[in-house]
Amino acid sequence: MKKIDYLEGLRGICCFIVIIDHCINFYKPDIRFTGMSGVGGEFRRLIAWTPLNIIYSGIAPVCIFFILSGFVLSLKFNQSHDNKIIFSGVVKRYPRLILPILASMIIMYCVYFLLYHYTGYNMNLTFWEAITQALYFAPFEHTALTNYALWTISYEMYGSFLVFALLSFFGSHKYRILFYSIVFLFLYINNSFYSLFVFGMILSDMFVHGKCSFTAYARIIFLVLGIIFVTTPYQRDGVELYRGMYSYISYFDGVEYKTLYQLFMLTGSMLLFCSLCGSNIAELILNKKPFQYLGKISFPLYVMHATILTVVTWVLKNTVSEVSLTNFLVTFFGTVVLCFMISSLFEKYIDVPAIKISSKLSKKLSEKYF
């Protein structure tokens, strides 16, 4: 069976796209605006109304995160069918996610406190709110958080437990794929992010048993359709919908756009993942050192970038009256360097120890109960 290290490269790329998305939101939202005139307007429309907008579309990468979670969390069990792996996974999941998140929220509180103390810029985050958001609201409530990127963590938590529950009930059953598929279809029909976790499980099972071998033509079709679907324009101020390559969506005018968008994200991300999973070309590219580095720091980068962007945004807004494209590019590249530096330190001193602590905890409990 092939190794799946290259999928870490995919995770890293997805995380980087999320950073681009958020940098545009905070530094220069009009990069997405489609109603502007001149060469700048034409360039914006060229990106917004074609698959080129994949460079700043942040929802599709999150969908791929969810598929990756379902795939990776079920992989070891699919290889061994050892129930101890399920128990270990359940025990590890909360501390593995929450210890780095707790650290990131404490850092966010300290940075915001200093920002307010020296500039008067108040982000209205108390220490108690930072702690409760990290320990409870991020993992268990689908709610807006000060660290806005953490809205995905509750889906990660519940999605992970859904994976472990399905493995526990059906993982060793002869017709497990049928049971998984029924659950998947129910969730997919209801436009739920949780369908992606189950899809990842199904693909993982197929991968382990050598049934995830698509032809080159099938992969190309999956890739093209997947990119078209995941680059469906997000409904936001300044962005005209049903235009360019996405004018076909107007044929579904009887369906709410938000519902269609979610369906396209789910479908497109699954097609994209199928095009890459088990692909020799994808493995060759995603195993390159830059992508593997991105994968290595992806979780620290994800939980820390909101704090960094808040500070940089304050500096930018108090330095220039109007953010030009040059201002944006300089600020963006500076932000990327800063994010990489801080995320590398976070990965070494917080994320890796958190993984070790969660692994030790699960090992002790496994020895006690198995």
Residues across the chain: 370
* Residue-level pLDDT at 213: 83
Q: 100 and 303 in contact (C-beta within 8 Å)?
A: yes
With residues binned 3-state (H G I as helix, E B as strand, rest as coil), the percentages for the chain, rounded to 5, are 80, 0, 20
Give CA–CA dist 347/100, Å, rounded. Answer: 9
Q: Return the sign of the alpha-carbon dihedral for residues 170, 172, 173, 174.
A: positive
Buried b (16+ CB within 10 A) or exposed e, 306-321: bbbbbbbbeebeeeee
CA dihedral 85→86→91→96, nearest 10 degrees, is 70
Give CA–CA dist 101/189, Å, rounded. Answer: 32
* Residue-level pLDDT at 1: 45
* Residue-level pLDDT at 211: 84
For each of the chain's 370 residues, which pLDDT tens digit applies? Answer: 456 889 999 999 999 999 999 999 999 999 999 999 999 999 999 999 999 999 999 999 999 999 999 999 999 999 999 999 999 999 999 999 999 999 999 999 999 999 999 998 889 999 999 999 999 999 999 999 999 999 999 999 999 999 999 999 999 999 999 999 999 999 999 999 999 999 999 999 999 988 888 999 999 999 999 999 999 999 999 999 999 999 999 999 889 999 999 999 999 999 999 999 989 999 999 999 999 999 999 999 999 999 999 999 999 999 999 999 999 999 999 999 999 999 999 999 999 999 999 999 998 888 877 7
H helix count then E strand count, the chain: 16, 0
* Element housing 174 (H / E): none
- Give the tens place of pLDDT for each residue, 128-169: 999 999 999 999 999 999 999 999 999 999 999 999 999 999
Q: 62 and 18 in contact (C-beta within 8 Å)?
A: yes
Residue 195 φ then ψ, to 5°: -60, -30
Q: Determine if the pTM surpasses 0.85.
A: yes
* Residue-level pLDDT at 3: 60
